[in-house]
């Protein structure tokens, strides 16, 4: 150890070229890799028995429907899900084996549908997260009369939720990515088209 450290004095600065003290080195902060959504939470396009696109679900739910004999895979990805006895290719598009009548009314208000509408994306910072790392935020706080409705609930990460607290977005210095709206059939079809641009396996089914 340097003798100057032992007696409580500051260590001498390192001298560089021309007698100029070198700037102290700044410790590097490790940069965490961006979080990736689990394969089991990847979106899967759901077709009716007539090949009409009707919904978007997660791989986990799609596999359950396939194992129950309710649906079959029409398109798959390269990834596999393995159990002790078999391996199943991860579906990208599934089709129901029996025709289902789809009502035209708005979907039920639920956490799952809010996250689906907002595409698992925090509506304040714009980052995508696994469903387990998202919560729901009341844009207008409940303490000020804010209701639990489609127009007042948004997907939110825990960091933005803590920053916002019991305030409005404006008071917390946050800005909504988009105005929250009810999840209607029109919203569902917009979501299908959006994801379809990224997954070429979906495109031939999005004919409407």
Q: What is the pLDDT of residue 196?
A: 67
Tell me the average confidence (pLDDT) per consecutive run of 10 residues in the chain, 208 residues long: 51 50 49 61 91 88 95 91 85 95 73 88 95 95 94 97 96 94 75 73 78
CATH fit for domain 111-164, picks 3.30.360.10, 1.10.10.10, 2.60.40.10, 1.10.30.50: 1.10.30.50
For residues 201 and 75, the answer to whether their CB atoms sit within 8 Å is yes
Q: What is the pLDDT of residue 179?
A: 92
Q: What is the pLDDT of residues 23-81, one digit of tens each?
A: 454 454 454 444 556 888 888 999 999 998 888 888 999 999 999 999 999 999 888 88
Q: What is the pLDDT of residue 36?
A: 55
Cα distances (Å, whole numbers) of residue 123 to 49, 84, 135, 180: 34, 40, 11, 9
Tokens matching residue 40: 């089991």
137 beta partners: 154
Q: Which residue has the tokens 């804010």?
A: 146
Tell me the average pLDDT of the chain: 82
User: SS3 helix, strand, coil % of the chain, rounded to 5?
Assistant: 25, 25, 50
Distance separating alpha carbons of residues 102 and 23, to the nearest angstrom = 67
**What are the boundaries of each domain within the chain?**
39-103+184-203, 111-164
Cα distances (Å, whole numbers) of residue 41 to 66, 90, 139, 174, 187: 16, 11, 26, 28, 20
Q: What is the pTM of this model?
A: 0.55
DSSP string, 24-93: PPPPPPPPPPPP---GGGSEEEEE-TTS-EEEEEEHHHHHHHHHTTSEEEEEEEEEEEE-SS-EEEEEEE
């Amino acid at each position: 150890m340097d003798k100057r450290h032992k007696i409580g004095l500051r260590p001498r600065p390192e001298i560089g070229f021309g007698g100029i003290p070198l700037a102290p080195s700044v410790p590097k902060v490790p940069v965490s890799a961006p979080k990736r959504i689990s394969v089991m939470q990847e979106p899967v396009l759901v077709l009716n028995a007539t090949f009409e696109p009707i919904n978007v679900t997660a791989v986990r739910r799609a596999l359950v429907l396939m194992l129950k004999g309710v649906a079959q895979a029409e398109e798959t990805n390269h990834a596999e899900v393995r159990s002790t006895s078999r391996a199943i290719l991860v579906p990208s598009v599934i089709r129901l084996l029996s025709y289902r009548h789809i009502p035209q009314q708005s979907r039920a208000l639920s956490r799952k549908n809010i996250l689906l509408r907002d595409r698992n994306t925090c509506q304040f910072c714009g980052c995508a997260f696994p469903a387990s790392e998202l919560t729901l935020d009341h844009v207008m706080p409940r303490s000020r009369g804010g209701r639990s409705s489609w127009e007042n609930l948004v997907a939110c990460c825990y960091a933005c939720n803590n920053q916002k607290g019991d305030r409005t977005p404006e008071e917390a210095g946050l800005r909504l990515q988009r105005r929250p709206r009810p999840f209607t059939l029109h919203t569902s079809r917009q979501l299908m088209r959006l994801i379809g641009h990224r997954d070429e396996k979906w495109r031939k089914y999005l004919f409407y």
